[in-house]
Structure 1
């Protein structure tokens, strides 16, 4: 286990460059399996899930060269092999399910482990993915420890309308459709920034995709995909997190941001807590005039609220970051997670700081902010941004706090603690029970 010791109370200030978005890096890594041509990726972060996928590639015979110091990864799948009866995909990693389309397209077979999962966000079904694979021609066989999928190549193009705008399901559909025979369409597609980045990469390989960034995609299958040299963009999750760290500690943090056009709703959400975000010359910064204070709605007798759902709503992954601001800001806010049913049950950990947060139901939480807070020892659930939200609260309180089981941070953010140390934070990892 990895725990974080946080010596809080220091305003964080300075400039910082975010890493690449895990939610773009992982599907793009999986997409390289679709081509036999060499691919170079720049800006690859040193995170757990990247290491797991790279190890799978090596076990399957792919040529991989990776230097985390430069962030450059060279991968060539020309001599890759796969046997569904022997080879296994990474366990305890949700993104491993995106290796399935490449395996089916290349080898006519793939498998899904029973324990393919990610953060403990509640029920995360694989049925939408299995349905997509079946629509492209896969025959599914259930095993005691997972599923084997077999398909006659090429995959069969089809039209599909998803139950909800799932990011990973959208990416799996595109991965299948890229080499399928014919034209495929997906209605109710996800359109998050990382999905758009993924589609841009697929287009660079030679995939024919129309409509990315919208809720309807049209993909015309091609016979082969080519190689690419691609540089990842900054992770908007990290951008928001660093800005929020500046705001909650009363500091002045500037973050490199090459896509401010993605931020209008996020800027307005910050404003609900008295934080102004300014975008200038490729950088974003937070401006706070005095203590954080919740902006009162014009409509009387209702709470200020932050609703999180698939893009273009506020992303659910960022909801805990704003919960941390809600705990600190004077006033009350309702937070509504419209996707996951297990992502809000950490109010008891906030209470250890002296915060007042009430869980209305599995999807909604109310914070009554501005209460006196004190250092505490808290335990993070296995949810990346919740661990960071607890870190944020601790950083805003003078004194020593402990975030137990903070390991999820390392799944998404390489050298996160070291980076915020550059802003003046005093934090260190402690390994052990």
Structure 2
């Protein structure tokens, strides 16, 4: 276990360049396994999930040249790869997106243990199994594993998802990219990282139409080629650093090449009295005095932040707004429409002295603006919950400890170094 020691009460100031979005990087890495030709990727972040995938490729026999100082990765999956080494990396949800490429190459893949990422409630694999079966794969399970086989390759299908799942959409596109014929997915996810992933596949030679909408058509091709690709700025990380500046009363300028993703996020920040500006490729958060919840014109309802599949506020960012809600004077209802039980960590807020009410597995009300004190709190295995707890600790004078903060390292490279450069006093320490 890795803990975070935070000596708070310091206004964070300065400039920061965000990293690439892990939710684009990881599926792209999985997609490279569909090609026998060299692939070069730029701005690959040094995060734990990337290291796990690269080790998986090395075990297969792929050529892997990674320079984390420059963020440049050169991959080549040509030659003889070892199917016996195809054990999916554990502790990361993206592992399941290796299955289409393993079926394409070897005709067989197995889930020998549970594939999980953040503990965001129930995260079923059934929609993925439905997709594999729709393309003609055979699925057999027992008490220890799920074995998926497709010795004759995939044939095109039309499929309708129960809900707009990001990873299931990406798995469908991975299967359809080399399937025989034209496939169609209805109720597809359209998050920016899904669009970036589809852009990468298109540059490899995949034929994809409807990207960014709820219906995606894919014409299968025989082979996908090599490509050189540069990842975009992660809008999640941009928003996170803006929130850190706002909650500490500081002024952080964040490079932002994804401004087109921000109109709704800008309005959401404004609900807490935070004004976001975008100018010359940089974004900043400005607060005029203490944080204060903006009252709605409809007097008999609470100010709300609703998180749901894109183009709603992303569920991944809801925790950083919860932190702002704890600090801002007034009441806010937060509604996670994606994950059941993902707000259970709210009990940790009370250790800081925060007032909140967990209404049900999806909704939380904060009664903000109360006096807060330093505390020792424990993060669940959820990336931005750990960050939300850090944000509160950073806004409180005195020393706090975030136990089990290691999920941050799954998405944010050089997290502590970047924060200390902005004026924070924070450090990693090994736990028991």
TM-score by length of 1: 0.98
Q: Look up the match of 1:34.
A: 34
Residue 134 of structure 1 is matched in structure 2 by 133
Whole-angstrom CA distance in 1 between matches of 2:145 and 2:344: 29
Tell me if 1:81 matches 2:81: yes
CA drift of 1:340 comes to 0.6
- Bigger Cα displacement from structure 2, 144-153 vs 386-395: 144-153
Q: Deviations over 1:98-130 (max 9, x none)?
A: 000001111111112331111111111100000
Aligned to 1:4: 4
Q: Distance in 1 between matches of 2:173 and 2:386?
A: 32
1:143 aligns with 2:142: yes
Q: Gaps (5+ residues) in structure 1?
A: none
Deviation at 1:287?
Answer: 1.0
Q: Output aligned runs, 1:230-249, within 5 Å.
A: 230-249=229-248
Residue number in structure 2 paired with 1:170: 169
Deviation at 1:82, TM superposition (A): 4.2
Partner of 2:66: 66
- Cα contact 2:44–2:71 (8 A) shared by 1: yes
Q: Is the Cα contact below 8 Å between 2:86 and 2:109 reproduced in 1?
A: no
**Greater Cα offset, 342-351 or 35-44:** 342-351
2-structure distance, mates of 1:251, 1:343: 29
Alignment of 1:94-173 (within 5 A): 94-173=93-172
**Separation in 1, partners of 2:153, 2:99:** 14
Q: Which moved more, 1:145-154 or 1:346-355?
A: 145-154
**Unaligned stretches of 5+ residues in structure 2:** none
8 A Cα contact 1:82 1:107, kept in partner: no
Q: How many angstroms does 1:152 deviate by?
A: 3.1
Which consecutive aligned stretches of 4+ in structure 1 deviate over 6 angstroms post-superposition?
none
Corresponding position: 1:421 with 2:392? no
Aligned pairs for 1:209-228 (under 5 A) are 209-228=208-227
More deviation in 153-162 or 197-206?
153-162
- Compute the TM-score of the two structures, normalised by the length of structure 2: 0.99
Contact 1:196 1:213 in 2 (8 A): yes
Distance verdict in 2 for CA 1:173–1:80, change over 3 Å: farther
* 8 Å contact kept, 2:60–2:83: no
Between the aligned partners of 2:347 and 2:35, the Cα distance in structure 1 is: 48
> Shift in Å at residue 153 of structure 1?
3.2
d(CA) in 2 for partners of 1:331 and 1:67? 47
Indicate the RMSD between aligned Cα atoms, in angstroms: 0.9
> Displacement, 1:154?
3.0
The equivalent of 2:294 in structure 1 is 295
Which secondary structure state, in structure 2, belongs to the residue aligned with residue 373 of structure 1?
coil
Q: Does 1:396 align with 2:398?
A: no
Match of 1:15 in 2: 15
